[in-house]
Amino acid sequence: MKPVKRIEIIIDSLDIRMVLQELEDIGISSYSVIRDVIGSGDRGARSGDLLNDAMKNSYILIACDEEQAEKITEALRPKLKRYGGMCLVSDAQWVQH
């Protein structure tokens, strides 16, 4: 098992394309996305019940090494500031295969 950083991002569903583009730009090509997430935060409730993806969040999970984690959080910080959302970093072990 290999120690990795586990990055969780919650961001507006409308911004997901932009974030994935950002990840690609900094060379991250492995990630997982859960598209339908609702919630509540500083910008109020997001109930996910409109006719499009406005008012809905998505969840991104990335397992990567420490250096990449650094890059990702640096790239995301201004986006999170501008568009809202949340980003958590924690530790995990990657089961090698």
Ligand X SMILES: Nc1ncnc2c1ncn2[C@@H]1O[C@H](COP(=O)(O)O)[C@@H](O)[C@H]1O
Binding string to other proteins for residues 21 to 60, with x set by CB under 8 A, is what?
---------------x------xxx-xxxxxxxxx-----
Number of chain positions touching other proteins (CB under 8 A):
20
Cα 43 to Cα 9, 46, 47, distances in angstroms: 16, 8, 12
Q: How far is the CB of 57 from other proteins (least distance, A)?
A: 12
87 binds other proteins (CB under 8 A): no
Beta strands 57-64 and 44-46: pairing type? unpaired
Tokens of 47: 């109930």
Mapped onto helix, strand or coil, the DSSP state of residue 16 is helix
Query: Closer CB to other proteins, residue 45 or residue 88?
Result: 45
Q: Which of 55, 52, 58, 48 is nearest to 86 (CA)?
A: 58
Q: How far is the CB of 49 from its own copies (least distance, A)?
A: 11
Tokens of 25: 């730009």
Q: Which residues bind ligand X (CB under 6 A)?
A: 10, 30-32, 39-43, 46, 57, 61-64, 84-86
